Amino acid sequence: MDNSDFLLLLVDDEPKNIQLLGSILSEAGYGIAFATSAEGAIEALRNNSIDLVLLDIMMPETSGFELCQKIKANEDTKDLPIIFISANSDRENIVHGFEMGGQDYISKPFNHQELLKRVETQLQLVAQRKSLDQLNKNLEAQVRKRTGELNNEVLRNKELKVKFETIFRKSPIGIVILNRETMGVVDCNQRFLDIFGFSDYMVENGDFVLENMFEDRELFHKIIRHFDPLITDIEMLSLTGEIRHIHLNAEPVELADINAYIMLLQDTTTECTLKLENEVLELTSRIDVLTQISNRRDLEEKLSNQIYRFERNQKSFVVIIGDIDNFKRVNDTYGHDAGDLVLRKVAEVLSESLRKQDMVGRWGGEEFLAILPDTNIHGGQRVAEKLRQCLSATEYIYKNNRLEITMTFGLAVYEKQGQTVDEVVKQADTALYCGKRRGKNCVMIPDLYNTKGVEK
């Protein structure tokens, strides 16, 4: 696949974002077009043959989601793949992006190699889809042409059928001809048999019923009753019961004395599996393997999202960093398996003790970080003290040994425009280590760590 054959449209109201994306993608050999507004994007789509759109969500006047709807509503651009790029990685936002018709979702800040791989994946699908669409169109045209020419003798006349077989038998798309009255299979090609695992013998002896291959039987009868050409995506079952994702193009025809239905079936299972694998990869890249909560990368993105949120509604949020006291002693005394048990238990207690809107993850080593949206420093202090008490009251048993586990917490509040993620985390970290110096197992607040802590 030659990258120079593809033209990508970058849509973002921030020129610096376009410049960054454009430099990465142009270095990879892709052609680049750009727009800083929804209107400019529509104009670019009208005047260029775009293969893929990378679309920012938060834009003035018309959001990325609204622009996506307009693109999908246009007959000429409805099949154009769209990758959303946004600093907002909330699950609801991601799901909404897919509901609007997006094919992928990349969260800022992004990894350059990950970006290029996701773009390459979508463009591979574009190339495959173009090839299959063209083949499908050619095949449909030839099938219709032959159907009109062969009239009532099409299936009976052996000589004409042989000529038709070249297209029918060698097509990379599955073809099945169905009798609409008996619902029996009149004929099918080899690709159809390969997709679903059937043999010629089974077809000739009527050993399978097409209706049984539909995951949704009601959909099968709806298709059979449909008198107009139909294009849709469905799920069908193979001989072994495996679900196959199928792009169906069906049309009723009159063949000889048979009231028939021709179905063209394109197997898209690989594309659907690839999409699922990408979603799983995205999820696992944000989870700490040991504790099964957010990892540092995910927490950093959530912190950035909270800053964007603050810029919109001016509501402060609190960052809590907790460090397990004397954790090295646990590892040295009982071994790393005991340390892993403690880390998993602490993660469980923190997750269960926080409020529904709060977020927690493993920051690194024995440090955990929690984010408390719409919270001031005093509210954060109360939450941190609750966490400290819950952790102290929890039993930690390793090989019949009861481990005494406590945690020291440092807090910081984001309430001033212009602060950075690093600054607010550093404030919480400084408060944490002040608590360590004061004897551990306490909660410390910024600007007060020389005079006050919530002690054990």
Residue 262 inside a domain? The answer is yes
Does residue 118 sit within a domain? no
Q: Which of 270, 301, 327 is the last residue of a domain?
A: 270
Tally of CB atoms within 10 A around 135: 14
Rounded to an integer, the average pLDDT of 251-259 is 75
Secondary structure element (H or E) that encloses residue 271, with its range: helix 269-284
Residues 310, 450 within the same domain: yes
Do 204 and 95 fall within a single domain? no
Q: What is the largest CA-CA distance in the chain?
A: 99
Domain boundary pick from 241, 270, 299:
270
| Both tokens assigned to 143 | 């099938």
Burial class of residue 272 (count of CB atoms within 10 Å of its CB; 0-12, 13-18, 19+) = middle
Tokens of 208: 């399978």
**360 shares a domain with 314:** yes
Residues 266 and 296 in one domain: no
Q: What is the CATH number of the domain that holds 181?
A: 3.30.450.20
Chain centre to alpha carbon of residue 357: 22
Q: Are residues 95 and 145 in the same domain?
A: no
How many structural domains comprise the chain?
3
Distance of alpha carbon 87 from alpha carbon 73, whole angstroms: 26
Does one domain contain both 303 and 413? yes
Closest to 438 measured CA to CA, from 409, 404, 405: 409
**Cα 239 from Cα 200, distance rounded (Å):** 13
Q: What are phi and psi of 354, to 5 degrees?
A: -80, 165
Reported confidence tier of residue 276, pLDDT bands at 50, 70, 90: low
Average pLDDT (100-107) is 84
Q: Are residues 227 and 295 in the same domain?
A: no
Residue 161 is encoded by which pair of tokens?
């059928």
Note whether 201 and 318 are same-domain residues: no
Q: Does 277 reside within a domain?
A: no
**Considering just the CA atoms, what is the radius of gyration of the chain in Å?**
30
**Range of weakest confidence among 35-49, 59-73, 149-163, 419-433:** 149-163
CB-based contact 235:241 (threshold 8 Å): no
What CATH number is given to the structural domain containing 11?
A: 3.40.50.2300
In a domain, 36, yes or no: yes
pLDDT-derived band of residue 277, with 50, 70 and 90 as boundaries? low
- Is the same domain home to 400 and 305? yes
Mean pLDDT calculated for residue range 363-382: 95
If asked whether residues 319 and 418 sit together in one domain, one would say yes
Is 282 domain-assigned? no
Separation between Cα atoms, residue 349 and residue 121, nearest integer Å? 40
Structure tokens at 183: 């619902």
**Residues 8/29, Cβ–Cβ less than 8 Å:** no
pTM for the whole thing? Answer: 0.45
Say if 324 falls within a structural domain: yes
Question: What is the residue range of 160's domain?
Answer: 129-270
Q: Indicate the residue among 62, 80, 110 that finishes a domain.
A: 110
- Mark whether 87 and 134 lie in a shared domain: no
Q: pLDDT digits over 191-211, tens only?
A: 888 888 877 767 666 656 777
**235-263 average pLDDT score:** 79
Dist CA 18 CA 12 (whole Å): 6
Q: Provide mean pLDDT across the span 271-288.
A: 68
Is residue 427 located within the same domain as residue 355? yes
116-162: pLDDT as tens digits: 898 888 888 888 888 887 887 888 888 777 666 655 444 454 554 55
DSSP type of residue 214: B
| Beta-sheet strand order (sheet of 317-324) | 359-364, 367-372, 317-324, 407-414, 443-444, 453-454
Confidence at residue 143, expressed as pLDDT on a 0 to 100 scale? 77
What confidence score (pLDDT) does residue 413 get? 94
Question: How many C-beta atoms lie closer than 10 Å to residue 247's C-beta?
Answer: 19
In a domain, 122, yes or no: no
Residue that the structure tokens 């550093």 belong to: 426
Residue 101 φ/ψ region, left for φ over 0, alpha for ψ in the -120 to 50 degree band, beta for the rest: left
342 pLDDT band, cuts 50/70/90, is: very high
In a domain, 102, yes or no: yes
Tokens matching residue 282: 């995205």
- Domain of 408: which CATH number? 3.30.70.270
Kindly state the tokens that stand for 156: 């009976």
